[in-house]
A and B are shown apart, each in its own frame.
Chain A
Amino acid sequence: MVPTAAKLGPVPGWTILWLVFLVAVGLFAWRVAFLVRLLMLGRAEDRFDQIRERFKRLLVYVFGQRRLLDELLVGIPHVLIFYGFLVFLLATSGMLLQGLFPGLRLPTIEQNRYLAPVVDIFAVLVLAGLAVSSFRRFVIRPAGLQLTADATLVNLLIAALMVTYLLAEAFRVVALPAEGAAWVPVGGWLAGSLVSSALLRAGALTFYQLFWWMHVLIVLFFLAYLPNSKHLHLLAAPFSVFFSRLEPPGRLEPARADGGLGAERLEEFTWRQLLSAFACAECGRCERACPSNQCGEPCSPRELVHNLKEQLLRYGPALLSKARATADGGEPALIGGLISPAELWTCTTCLSCAEHCPVMNEHLSIMVDLRRRLVERGEVDTRLEEALRNLARYGNSFGQSERKRAVWAQSLDFKPKDARKEPVEWLWYLGEYACYHPALQGFTRSLARILHAAEVDFGILYEGERNSGNDARRVGEEGLFELLREKNVATLQKARFNNLFTTDPHVYNTLRNEYPELNHGRHPVYHYTELLADLLARGRLRVAQELPYRVTYHDPCYLGRYNGVYDAPRAVLKALGVQLKEMPRSRQNSFCCGGGGGRVWMEEIGEVHARPSESRVREAASLDGVQVLVVACPKDYVMFADALKTTGLESRLAVKDLTELVAEAVGLVPQAAASAPAQPRAA
């Protein structure tokens, strides 16, 4: 029998159900429509391209729960809850239909002898998953995962749904054994224990109806509540994943066609950026992955998205109203309001947040758009300002003359070819650190000697080279980036070369992803580790003596996470014969040195208890027997060399650029004493 067939007082059950159903659906639809209208406040953006790829993402990230499974303690319970939700979506819909149209006697899952046990087992699995995740949320209390009334309520509702289902089932088995599937493991077991009580046996039918009604009513309540809670991510996440950005993360959005730069008011963000607010499940993985946040700086990707949501929910409605009193609709400034400039300036753009976000939110683009607005207003701190002015005037942030770009090469015993004047196979785009920074010029020379010895046909641009603009762009100075790019492209177009390589992952990222004029030609961009790996593999570079070191390797953000180059440096290390031990946070989980996003040009903000670079060298030093921290990025070298000093770990660990090790192994420099780590000073 269908519980709604019976009368509840003077009114048939199905009437009441219809009433509640319509109200719940109505509230749900109204709220969702409202949220969609809020999203439409945002700017248009075409995310309807490459539909096949998008469906693939849906499959991998939503149904495959890919990102959640990197942390098993979270991943497994969530998979259970997620699939449990899908299963119950079907089961409960069946129950609802049945309840709304009792006369039609529609078949339900409960009656299906194959499917009913599945639902039954899932109920327990979901409860198990809930137990683990609740334990994590309420007892372990990881950072970034908040204890809100909302979260608690959602957990309770899910638990209640499972329990009422199981109880309803159990009582049905007792009261109406013929009506449903014959065998349901959990329900059946429960029924078995209930049967022992005469009271429960007598009232089994009533209890069945009671728990049936409770289940259905709770579901309808949940339906109405859902779009008002953080559980909205249920609805929004599939869309946020489907409409996620397909372009490489290392390619930022340029200025708008109308010349507008950056965003601060709600209507200046794109609808997809605003969607981040609703898709966010407030899980806190982004915050836990954020190096700046972990060392005490005000930066928090989760807060960023959350505050955007707050801004949208609080002030969006006024903007929806046609009769707007003022042009800005009374929307107070976001920066300086819900979001502080300090939060924006302390981001290193390492991409860890976006990499770990299960709903594929775009923290980076929101952050850069806000930074662009600050730069537009000239609100940048003096040190950063100086770096930007130097970049614009001298083409490097050090404030040194362009003419001194190739001074590093003067002490070489050969003169690198000038790619502006003669054709070369490989163009070496050095990057400003390799050219100007005193600690790094030695590595630059070493690499030049290595390549010369391997008879690689390479050349440089001498004074024609300027900062590639990667960090200027990420600081929000889009105009400066365009200026630098224009000058560089003009120089590159006059130079003659086939391939391009660089030692700096920041340069690598922007030349590869953000210089369309370069890419549309036939000039692939490589990192020097890729070139070295190739040379070693082909025997053009020979290892004279294998190195006896135990090392660990730090994956640079812009090489690894941004551009997927993890293996080439490791292949080089393998060829050198060193023993490589990976740090706990390696590859995609590599922990940023803290220098990206223009941070090397800024002061520290906030109470910093351990800089990211210090945390990282400690991590390296914690590995047993590891003597050397190998880096492949000039900023990493500078940051870690400094961190070794400030942490006092200089005698425990040495930081070396991969070039140094290669130079030693191929016999270009005498090998340092194997026991003591060499001083972190360039040759």
Chain B
Amino acid sequence: MNIAVLAKQVPDLVEGLEIDASGKALDPDSLRYILSETDDHALEEALLIKERVGGRVEVFSLEVGEVREALYAALAKGADRAVLAQTEGEVRLDNHTLARIFADLLGRGSYDLVLTGVRAIDDLDGSLGGLLAGYLGLPYVGLVRKVEIASDSATAIVEKEYPGSYAAELEVRLPAVLGIQAAEQPPRYVPVSRLRQVMKTAKVEVQDASLPEVLPVAVERLSQPEEGAGAAMLSGNPEEIARQIVDLLSERRLVG
């Protein structure tokens, strides 16, 4: 079972975001990158599948931010291979571009299953997994929370989430692409000592990929919501605030 995991680096919200002078993009100097949370789950699900049915897990990413550390962490967790795509010129990070780049890279090997996070915080133009599946002509299911490989190793049985805590159990014939919402267990922890050991011995492969001719949807303007815009902010010490809130409720007869 050859599994490919597509991992994306996204801006770390902890560090805050700043819009650059042009107003159309984020200021790259203000950004620090972190592995997209759902991609971390996709990796975890891939590793769980590998533990159950055997096979290989290969992680693909793009040279952005602290991606190497994320790839080493993936290797330390049990991935077999880590590949960084390198392109000439400025890389746009929209999902259509990424999907084309990854489609190119994946085509150089053969994979039964491609897992990636179903949505990242910087997604503007659709889900990476869905786009990739479209380009590769592979079946796709998004918002997956569980993947089980059937005994014939030719199909996967997945659970797709719906609102109201409903889910659909679907059978997908491999090879296929799945958009992971959550792994069956939280992403495992890698002790720092093991990570550092892996960093000394393992290698991250760098592969050239051509920059696709994809015209992304052009952003006119980025803006940030005003602080507290919308809400009427209450102030005072906690006791006063509690009183104000209960006053509000009382006015609307929500409180006796």
Question: Are A479 and B193 neighbours in the complex by a CB distance under 8 Å?
Answer: yes
Question: Are B14 and A376 neighbours in the complex by a CB distance under 8 Å?
Answer: no
A400-B14 CB under 8 A given contacts A378-B189, A378-B191: yes
Min distance, Cβ B33 to any Cβ of chain A, angstroms: 11
Residues in B15-33 with C-beta less than 8 Å from chain A: 15-16
Q: How far is the CA of A401 from the CA of B192 in the complex (A)?
A: 20
Q: For the complex, is A380 an interface residue (Cβ under 8 Å from B)?
A: yes
Most buried by A among B34, B191, B196, B197: B191
Which residues of the partner chain A approach B197 to less than 8 Å between Cβ atoms?
Answer: 259
Q: For the complex, is B91 an interface residue (Cβ under 8 Å from A)?
A: no
Most buried by B among A378, A382, A482: A378
Partner of B16, one of A375, A392, A399, A401: A401
Q: How far is the CA of A367 from the CA of B16 in the complex (A)?
A: 40
Question: Are B194 and A479 neighbours in the complex by a CB distance under 8 Å?
Answer: yes
Q: How far is the CA of A376 from the CA of B193 in the complex (A)?
A: 8
Q: For the complex, is B186 an interface residue (Cβ under 8 Å from A)?
A: yes
Min distance, Cβ A389 to any Cβ of chain B, angstroms: 8
Q: For the complex, is A608 an interface residue (Cβ under 8 Å from B)?
A: no
Count, chain B residues at interface, CB 8 A: 15
Q: For the complex, is A664 an interface residue (Cβ under 8 Å from B)?
A: no
Q: How far is the CA of A480 from the CA of B194 in the complex (A)?
A: 10
Q: How far is the CA of A382 from the CA of B44 in the complex (A)?
A: 15
Question: Are B193 and A255 neighbours in the complex by a CB distance under 8 Å?
Answer: yes
Q: How far is the CA of A477 from the CA of B190 in the complex (A)?
A: 10
Min distance, Cβ A195 to any Cβ of chain B, angstroms: 77
Q: For the complex, is B188 an interface residue (Cβ under 8 Å from A)?
A: yes
Which residues of the partner chain B approach A382 to less than 8 Å between Cβ atoms?
Answer: 186
Q: How far is the CA of A483 from the CA of B192 in the complex (A)?
A: 8
Which residues of the partner chain B approach A259 to less than 8 Å between Cβ atoms?
Answer: 193, 197
A385-B191 CB under 8 A given contacts A401-B14, A401-B15: no
Question: Are A483 and B196 neighbours in the complex by a CB distance under 8 Å?
Answer: yes
Question: Are A480 and B192 neighbours in the complex by a CB distance under 8 Å?
Answer: yes
Which residues of the partner chain A approach B195 to less than 8 Å between Cβ atoms?
Answer: 479
Which residues of the partner chain A approach B14 to less than 8 Å between Cβ atoms?
Answer: 394, 399-401
Which residues of the partner chain B approach A399 to less than 8 Å between Cβ atoms?
Answer: 14
Partner of B196, one of A389, A394, A403, A479: A479
Min distance, Cβ A642 to any Cβ of chain B, angstroms: 15
Count, chain A residues at interface, CB 8 A: 24
Which residues of the partner chain A approach B189 to less than 8 Å between Cβ atoms?
Answer: 375, 378, 380, 385, 388-389
Residues in B128-170 with C-beta less than 8 Å from chain A: none
Question: Are B192 and A392 neighbours in the complex by a CB distance under 8 Å?
Answer: yes
Q: For the complex, is A478 an interface residue (Cβ under 8 Å from B)?
A: yes
Which residues of the partner chain B approach A483 to less than 8 Å between Cβ atoms?
Answer: 192, 196
Question: Are B191 and A477 neighbours in the complex by a CB distance under 8 Å?
Answer: yes
Residues in A438-484 with C-beta less than 8 Å from chain B: 477-480, 482-483
Question: Are B192 and A477 neighbours in the complex by a CB distance under 8 Å?
Answer: yes
Q: How far is the CA of A375 from the CA of B188 in the complex (A)?
A: 11
Min distance, Cβ A167 to any Cβ of chain B, angstroms: 64
Contact with A along B102-126 (1 / 0, CB 8 A): 0000000000000000000000000
Min distance, Cβ A83 to any Cβ of chain B, angstroms: 49
Question: Are B191 and A479 neighbours in the complex by a CB distance under 8 Å?
Answer: yes
Min distance, Cβ B103 to any Cβ of chain A, angstroms: 31
Which residues of the partner chain B approach A241 to less than 8 Å between Cβ atoms?
Answer: none
Q: How far is the CA of A400 from the CA of B16 in the complex (A)?
A: 10
Min distance, Cβ B177 to any Cβ of chain A, angstroms: 28
Q: How far is the CA of A401 from the CA of B197 in the complex (A)?
A: 27
Contact with A along B171-201 (1 / 0, CB 8 A): 0000000000000001011111111110000
Q: For the complex, is A261 an interface residue (Cβ under 8 Å from B)?
A: yes
Which residues of the partner chain A approach B193 to less than 8 Å between Cβ atoms?
Answer: 255, 259, 261, 376, 478-479, 482
Contact with B along A381-420 (1 / 0, CB 8 A): 0100100110011100001110100000000000000000
Closest chain B residue, CB of each to CB of A402: B15
Q: How far is the CA of A389 from the CA of B37 in the complex (A)?
A: 13
Min distance, Cβ A419 to any Cβ of chain B, angstroms: 24
Closest chain B residue, CB of each to CB of A261: B193
A-B contact pairs, 10 of them (CB 8 A): A255-B193, A376-B194, A380-B189, A385-B189, A394-B14, A399-B14, A477-B191, A479-B191, A479-B192, A479-B195
| Additional pairs, 9, CB under 8 Å, beyond known A380-B189, A400-B14, A479-B193 | A259-B197, A376-B191, A376-B193, A382-B186, A385-B186, A385-B189, A482-B192, A482-B193, A483-B192
The 9 closest A-B pairs by CB, nearest first: A479-B193, A479-B192, A480-B192, A378-B189, A385-B189, A401-B15, A375-B191, A378-B188, A401-B14
